[in-house]
Amino acid sequence: MRQLNLQFAVEGVTDELPPMVSLSEYKENPPLLPEELIQGILRRGHKMIISGSSKAGKSFLLMELCVAIAEGTKWLGFPCRKGWVLYVNLEIDPASCINRFLKIYEALGLPMNHTDSIAIWNLRGHAVSLDQLVPKLVRRVRDQHFDAIVIDPIYKVITGDENNASDMGRFYNQFDKICTETGCSTIYCHHHSKGAQGAKKASTVRPAREFLPATRTRSWI
């Protein structure tokens, strides 16, 4: 049977890409999967996007997820492993952001036992394109033992044409870079068509499960 030669050495040619591997190396001893951060939804080091219309409650949904991870409770009925989470706030003023978190704790009836497990990076007015932000983010969180990084919202750092596949490919590659270089799960939200908002009120604090019909969560376990 022909054997693949996966060891390539070309004189004068080097790159920083990982080597090829043979599946046969793992048939008796497959690699361990990363631990689940959100049971049945998201593993550590993987990505998740939440999308919904404007004012659908995406930020509250993400903030409630931060609380669930910090406290090791359920989010939308899914158990979360207790961990450390960084919330990158790109949109609202720092005081409003902090008060939203406190009101979410109050609305959920949770004791504030592990608020030190939530770090907030307020970047409203300081946002740059994602390709400029990622190196700064990686440098700050490396060796800090975060389990998840939440970026809210991505339209503040988006570059290129959203209808151009190449532009969006380069943009979303930055999230892979965050996962690869930090080992954290990366969670972000984006809005689709705004549409009519009816009686939705962004200032009302409600449990995230009430927002679920208006939002979409996508990940691969």
Q: For residue range 97-108, what is the model confidence (pLDDT) as tens digits?
A: 999 999 999 999
Residue 109 CA to residue 62 CA, distance in Å, equals 17
Residue 21 pLDDT grade (very low, low, confident, very high; cuts 50, 70, 90): confident
Helix (H, G, I), strand (E, B) or coil at 190: strand
Domains in the chain, please, with CATH? 34-219 (3.40.50.300)
- Which of the pair, 143 or 85, is modelled with greater confidence? 85
Please check the confidence at residue 158 and state whether its pLDDT lies above 50: yes
Please check the confidence at residue 71 and state whether its pLDDT lies above 90: yes
Q: What is the mean pLDDT of residues 68-90?
A: 96
pLDDT score recorded for residue 6: 62
Please check the confidence at residue 208 and state whether its pLDDT lies above 60: no
pLDDT score recorded for residue 207: 46
Residue 178 CA to residue 141 CA, distance in Å, equals 10
Interval 44-64: pLDDT, tens: 999 998 888 777 888 899 999
Interval 109-154: pLDDT, tens: 999 999 999 999 999 988 788 888 888 989 999 888 899 999 987 7
Strands 47-52 and 215-219: antiparallel
Q: Global pTM?
A: 0.78
Q: What is the mean pLDDT of residues 152-177?
A: 76
Please check the confidence at residue 204 and state whether its pLDDT lies above 60: no
Q: What is the mean pLDDT of residues 21-39?
A: 92
Report yes or no: 127 and 90 within 8 Å, Cβ to Cβ.
Answer: yes
Residue 185 pLDDT grade (very low, low, confident, very high; cuts 50, 70, 90): very high
Residue 205 pLDDT grade (very low, low, confident, very high; cuts 50, 70, 90): very low
Strands (E) across the chain are located at 36-38, 42-43, 47-52, 74-75, 78-79, 85-89, 118-122, 148-152, 185-191, 215-219
- Which of the pair, 11 or 168, is modelled with greater confidence? 168
Q: What is the mean pLDDT of residues 147-175?
A: 78
Helix (H, G, I), strand (E, B) or coil at 215: strand
